[in-house]
Amino acid sequence: MKIVDIVATAFRNAFRSRLRTSLTVLAIFIGAFTLSLTNGLGTGINQYIDDTVASVGVDDVMTVTKTNEDEPADGGPAEYDPNQIEADGPPGTTTSALTDDDIETIAGIDGVLSVQPAKSVLADYVQYDDGTKYQLSISQFVPGMKVELASGEQVDLDAGDPQLVLPESYLEPLELGSAADAVGQTVVLAVTDATGEQVTTEATVVGVAEPGVITMGGAIPNDVLTEELYDLQTNGAPESETTRYAQASVSFDVDAGEEEAAALKDRLADAGYTGSTLEDQLGTITAVIDAIVLVLNGFAVIALVAAGIGIVNTLFMAVQERTREVGLMKAMGLSSARVFSLFSIEAVVIGLVGSALGVLAAIGVGQLVGSVSGDLLTDLPGLTLIAFEPVTVVAVVLGVMAIAFLAGTLPALRAARQDPISSLRYE
């Protein structure tokens, strides 16, 4: 009997007992469906995080602050330090200020490709066409970062004119119209300088940022606008006040690997600085998601183990029912290896049918959930709650087929070892 004949026979024999096989396929279906759905959920959420994470930072940029060695270990109040400066974080969060000397020191550390101090700008308001004035925060922008846009484009850091990306929530209050209408408009930004005088400057809106889970929360300026606002804000301040920074962005070679990134953190720590990468800042979020998906996958695996037991039972009964048939095939010259292949392929067929149906059902449910959740997740544009990657789908099907093959091994071995004479006498 040729391989093609064995495969064809296995397909026919797999559904001889339709009820028994159908129940086994149902068990596999449940496991494959659950596994595909949970993987799709994890993929969808992680893809959304990957797409929006660029609004927080980039892989090859490390945020560096000065290490505060005087911070109380018991969490109590710290002594006053004139070198403290307000830092990003909850209100009242402070850090030791970086100076130009610190920036120069950091630039000289091995592994640092470039360093850019973060110049904090506190805008008083934004105004369009002599309309109502609204408070506005200015976010620090790092080269390589991207913001999810409703319209327009990212700011050009090398442009010679002031540009900014405006949050979508400002369109209606400022009466800018739609996101597309806002692009190209000129807005007025105001800051208060060191003398207490309020001064203004203009900037062109080049893009409108969509809201998301991970957002910078403010307008995104290009370098020219940041410098202009910072110079206006520090006008009249002592030189010592104009060269104090809460943090700096350090570029490094991300392709050098995790060990080199860790070594760079150690070298920064030895110099009195603390470095944190994007992975450090967001690792907890992705770890929680992956842990939830892992737990859900555990339930799917339990279902597949139960389905595997069902395959063992189904094929053991099939071997018993076809004992004389197996004896006849072996008496006619069919080798034990061919008999083993026949029953193993039956198990694989059952696994293929169950897993394929489970994956298709999961994809269908994913599309249904996506269409229904669209209205519920309007504040999270770009989020596909359940997403499927072809590689993952194929891996689930092949994985279930492998489990089915292993489950069918014992019954197949039993059939292959049968003595043809005894089998022919079997009643």
Question: How confident is the model at residue 91, as a pLDDT?
Answer: 42
Question: How confident is the model at residue 294, as a pLDDT?
Answer: 77
Among 229, 279, 226, which Cα is nearest to 56's?
Answer: 279
Distance CA 156, CA 159 (A): 5
Question: How confident is the model at residue 285, as a pLDDT?
Answer: 65
Q: What is the DSSP letter of 407?
A: H
Question: How confident is the model at residue 89, as a pLDDT?
Answer: 47
Q: For the chain, list residues with pLDDT below 70.
A: 1-3, 5-6, 11, 14, 49-59, 68-95, 141-145, 212-217, 279, 281-286, 289, 319-323, 326, 373-383, 419-427
Burial track 157-178 (b if 16+ CB lie within 10 A, e otherwise): beeeebbbbbbbebbeebebee
Alpha helices in 15-80 (DSSP H): 18-52
pTM: 0.55
Summarised one tens digit per residue, pLDDT across range 205-221 is: 999 988 754 445 688 89
Question: How confident is the model at residue 90, as a pLDDT?
Answer: 43
Question: How confident is the model at residue 55, as a pLDDT?
Answer: 52
Among 365, 344, 342, 362, which Cα is nearest to 354's?
Answer: 362
Question: How confident is the model at residue 218, as a pLDDT?
Answer: 80
Confirm if 61 and 144 have CB atoms less than 8 A apart.
Answer: yes
Question: How confident is the model at residue 292, as a pLDDT?
Answer: 74
Question: How confident is the model at residue 425, as a pLDDT?
Answer: 58
Identity of the amino acid at 181: D
| Number of residues that this document lists for the chain | 427
Question: How confident is the model at residue 34, as a pLDDT?
Answer: 84
Question: How confident is the model at residue 166, as a pLDDT?
Answer: 92
Question: How confident is the model at residue 69, as a pLDDT?
Answer: 58
Q: What is the DSSP letter of 55?
A: G
Neighbouring residues of 156: CB distance < 8 A, sequence distance ≥ 6 = 163, 206, 222
Distance CA 265, CA 250 (A): 11
